[in-house]
Amino acid sequence: MKFENTLEFARQLDEKDPLRKYRDRFLFPKVNNKPVVYFTGNSLGLQPKNAKDYVDEVMKDWSELAVEGHFYAKKPWWDYHERLAKPLSKIVGAKPEEITVMNTLTVNLHLLMVSFYRPKGKRYKIICEEKAFPSDQYMFQSQVKFHGYTPENAIVEIKKRKGEHNFRTEDILSMIRDVGDECALILIGGVNYYTGQVFDMQKITKAGHDIGALVGWDLAHAAGNIELHLHDWNVDFAAWCSYKYMNSGPGNASGCFIHERFHDQREISRFEGWWGTSKDTRFLMKPEFEPMPNADAWQVSNASILSMAPYLASLQLFEEVGMQALIQKRKVIVSYLEFVLQEIDKQVESTFEIITPANPKERGTQLSVFLHGEGKKIFDYLMQNGVITDWREPNVIRLAPAPFYCSFEDMYSFGQILKEGILKKANQLSSEL
């Protein structure tokens, strides 16, 4: 498609957008009395308007039924979380029984590592990407120390080549072969949080299995964003948070995927609790742990219903729309944003550089832009003028136009505000000279 950087053209794209009506299903913050251009759906998705109804329903059932709500609420609480498994299984490409929703992301990755990071003999190393999300780094360090190793020795980081912004699949695969039978676990962010690079999860998972390692994915930036086929890719386990592209609300629950081949392994190492036991016998309060025959066996505590409610509300929207439609729009809106950035770049003295891969197969909803020079001031200008983005040291803003609620007109308006900001900066500097 041939793009144009005009308001008229952007509005034409919006008119043709089959998802345009979904914008109205979300609540937008306002700056200067206008809804913002929201680029931080990769950090905290906007609130779907139906979320409140789902929360209110729980509050009402609680007030009217109290403990009886576990069994007699409109959506009984004792198996409330099970309602999330099916819609999630479609989003991440799994069977519903391979999904469970519980706790929060880092907690879940730790719990999953109890099962899937079992260092033994010379096989004890973890392969991850360099500069992983800090929580993941702390997790790796504390896990290897917990097992008696040192991070220097037991954590192997995949590196980028000098001067390059992204990882090369061939480098990752050759690193995996090099570590070989010393590798116990490969655990990488499916989409890199900083650059937005999408990893070739299928190839990497296979390479890991070829050397006898287990392979898990942190899908914080991938779930609800890109196409996933966790079951078919033979991924061992994965987890994600729901408050980013899945719009479930701040700090909300995390989803886990555990491949079905592990479900009947009775001896698997696992930290257990009563919500992981068979539903048929759970309330007999027996001393023996009888696991659920699915991913729910990894659940520890009873579900946090007030956080499941807005998550379920948001999944309702995903059910309505479907991942395919979101992916379709995402490809166009991200390309359009890229085009707008390139156009602005031609009109002002070049001050920025997109560090996200240009190949649409290697990126999702996010473009990370390196702002040279006066980056922080341009960022401040954007924020003051209704463009919500985020700042990552040393000089990067991340722009994630979530296809659910961002419009093509938003991309155009952002371009204009960015240009204004850069020109004002330039004028200000020259008047100061």
Ligand X SMILES: *Cc1c(COP(=O)(O)O)cnc(C)c1O
Interface residues toward ligand X, by CB under 6 A: 104-106, 133, 135-136, 189, 193, 218, 220-221, 241
Nearest to 47, CA basis, from 30, 33, 29: 29
> Looking at beta carbons only, is 14 or 390 nearer to ligand X?
390
Alpha-carbon distance of 51 to 131, in angstroms, equals 35
> Looking at beta carbons only, is 340 or 396 nearer to ligand X?
396
CB 361 within 8 A of CB 334: no
Nearest to 214, CA basis, from 188, 191, 182, 237: 237
Alpha-carbon distance of 234 to 72, in angstroms, equals 39
Q: Tokens in use for 143?
A: 């896990």
Instruction: Count other C-beta atoms under 10 Å from residue 322's C-beta.
Output: 12
In the complex, the smallest distance separating the C-beta of residue 236 from ligand X, rounded to whole angstroms, is 18
DSSP-derived pairing of the beta strands 254-258 and 237-241: antiparallel
In the complex, the smallest distance separating the C-beta of residue 373 from ligand X, rounded to whole angstroms, is 28
Alpha helix (H) ranges present in 131-185? 134-146, 151-154, 169-179
CA 168 to chain centroid, in Å, comes to 21
> Looking at beta carbons only, is 254 or 407 nearer to ligand X?
254
> Looking at beta carbons only, is 198 or 378 nearer to ligand X?
198
> Looking at beta carbons only, is 252 or 395 nearer to ligand X?
252
In the complex, the smallest distance separating the C-beta of residue 371 from ligand X, rounded to whole angstroms, is 21
Q: Tokens in use for 177?
A: 């072969």
DSSP-derived pairing of the beta strands 99-102 and 125-129: unpaired
**Residue given tokens 């190949």 in the structure block:** 359
Count CA atoms within 13 Å of residue 110 on its CB side. Answer: 18
Nearest to 261, CA basis, from 239, 293, 299: 293
In the complex, the smallest distance separating the C-beta of residue 252 from ligand X, rounded to whole angstroms, is 9
In the complex, the smallest distance separating the C-beta of residue 172 from ligand X, rounded to whole angstroms, is 17
> Looking at beta carbons only, is 220 or 402 nearer to ligand X?
220
> Looking at beta carbons only, is 135 or 141 nearer to ligand X?
135
**Residue given tokens 């033994």 in the structure block:** 120
In the complex, the smallest distance separating the C-beta of residue 243 from ligand X, rounded to whole angstroms, is 7
In the complex, the smallest distance separating the C-beta of residue 360 from ligand X, rounded to whole angstroms, is 21
> Looking at beta carbons only, is 221 or 270 nearer to ligand X?
221
Q: What are phi and psi of 205, to 5 degrees?
A: -60, -45
In the complex, the smallest distance separating the C-beta of residue 251 from ligand X, rounded to whole angstroms, is 7
